[in-house]
């Protein structure tokens, strides 16, 4: 962290900015965020470590795409490419996830519906992404990327977190099931996805509107990807089928409202189940890594609920027997 603060101090000095600096609390990011005053307004600096500062270009690219398509992201005020510092609009401190935790069920569902409203709008930017050659149109959830995420889960849950690598026979059998899953999901990758669309990456601004953050990894994926992420990320109680159906129906209505072709229900729900298996395992891998390697142990309570969701979904699909057996063992311990 000190090195990143030094990069910001250099930016402030070079731009003759004399302001108090407040460090903001990151979630799972390797970037660091700071608030200060510039030209009479509060702004936020996103400071990238040297090893990933080239990714600031991706953030700017996707931000420009989203802004041109009327998606509510922070405006970019300045970019210091040498130091890896991006100066953006200050959206405040109210994170949707915290608001949901402090509210009743009705308030939570209202926020979820408002967030769902944004997903078809993101997907509608697909054509514009292709026409502008945005990085969001050049990256996709293909077999390679999907498998990378599943391997990330295997490594960081079993080896990094539990320190109990899987037996080779089980590992190889899982590999075959994962390849089958990824090949099917690869064929569904048709629209722009945020990629990490959940309540911790949505802010509530001073007007009460939702604003999207952490969108630099947007890429082409399944129309179900962001919905799965939003509805099933970081839960400790598994949502009921009735609630999931209600939220899926809201998504269908919003697709129609923005002029997207309403998905075929049967195909969409099957894709939703397949994406649930992949995305929840990916999330479990992230929670395992963050808790064991970065000391963010508040992620631990979310790991086994992800396993329960995947187990029940795979069981409903009547597929992925090795995965089901593996997760059943973890859930029984």
Long-range contacts of 162-167 (CB under 8 A, 24+ apart): 166/326
Is residue 15 pLDDT above 70, yes or no?
yes
Domains in the chain, start-ordered, CATH in brackets?
A: 2-89 (3.30.200.20), 96-332 (3.90.1200.10)
What average pLDDT does this structure show over 121-140? 98
Residue 14 has pLDDT above 60, yes or no: yes
- The yes-or-no verdict on residue 1 having pLDDT over 60 is no
Q: Is the pLDDT of residue 229 over 80?
A: yes
| Mean pLDDT value across residues 302-323 | 98
Q: What share of the chain is helix, strand, coil (3-state, %, to 5)?
A: 60, 15, 30
- Helices (DSSP H) in 18-167: which residue ranges? 56-68, 96-101, 105-124, 126-131, 135-138, 143-153
Q: With a threshold of 0.75, does the pTM exceed it? A: yes
Q: What is the Cα–Cα distance from 186 to 326, expressed in whole angstroms?
A: 24
Residue 217 in 3-state DSSP?
Answer: coil
Q: What is the pLDDT of residues 193-218, one digit of tens each?
A: 999 999 999 999 999 999 999 999 99
pLDDT, position 27: 62
Mean pLDDT value across the chain: 95
Residue in 218, 204, 231, 239 with CA at minimum distance from that of residue 121: 218
pLDDT at 103: 75
d(CA 43, CA 88): 6
Q: Closest Cα to residue 69, out of 112, 140, 138, 126?
A: 126
pLDDT band at residue 263, thresholds of 50, 70 and 90?
Answer: confident
Q: With 70 as the cut, is the pLDDT of residue 28 above it?
A: no
CA-to-CA distance for 303 and 285, rounded, in angstroms?
8
The 10s digit of each residue's pLDDT in 58-109 is 999 999 999 999 999 999 999 999 999 999 999 999 999 999 988 788 999 9
């Amino acid at each position: 962290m000190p090195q990143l603060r030094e990069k910001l101090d250099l930016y402030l000095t070079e731009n003759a900015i004399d302001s108090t600096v407040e460090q903001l609390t990151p979630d799972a990011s390797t970037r660091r965020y700071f608030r200060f005053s510039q030209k009479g307004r509060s702004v936020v600096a996103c400071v990238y470590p040297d090893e990933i500062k080239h990714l600031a270009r991706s953030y700017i690219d996707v931000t420009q795409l989203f802004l041109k398509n009327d998606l509510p992201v922070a405006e970019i005020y300045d970019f210091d490419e040498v130091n890896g510092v991006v100066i953006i609009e200050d959206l405040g401190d109210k994170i949707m996830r915290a608001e949901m935790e402090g509210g009743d069920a009705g308030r939570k569902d209202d926020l979820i519906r408002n967030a769902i409203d944004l997903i078809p709008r993101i997907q509608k930017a697909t054509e514009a992404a292709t026409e502008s050659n945005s990085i969001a149109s050049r990256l996709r959830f293909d077999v390679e990327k999907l498998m990378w995420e599943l391997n990330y889960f295997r490594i960081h849950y079993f080896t990094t977190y539990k320190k109990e690598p899987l037996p080779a026979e089980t590992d190889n059998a899982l590999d075959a099931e994962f390849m089958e899953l990824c090949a099917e999901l690869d064929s569904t990758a048709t629209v722009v996805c945020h990629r990490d669309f959940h309540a911790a990456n949505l802010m509530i601004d001073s007007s009460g509107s939702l604003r999207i953050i952490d969108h630099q990894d947007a890429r082409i994926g399944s129309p179900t990807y962001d919905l799965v992420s939003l509805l099933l990320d970081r839960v400790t109680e598994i949502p009921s089928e009735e609630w999931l159906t209600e939220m899926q129906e809201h998504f269908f209505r919003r697709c129609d409202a923005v002029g997207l072709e309403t998905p075929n229900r049967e195909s969409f729900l099957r894709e939703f189940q397949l994406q649930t298996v992949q995305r929840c395992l990916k999330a479990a891998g992230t929670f395992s890594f963050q808790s064991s390697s970065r000391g963010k142990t508040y992620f631990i309570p979310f790991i086994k609920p992800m396993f329960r969701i995947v187990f029940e979904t795979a069981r409903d699909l009547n597929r992925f027997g090795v995965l089901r057996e593996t997760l059943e063992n973890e859930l029984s311990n």
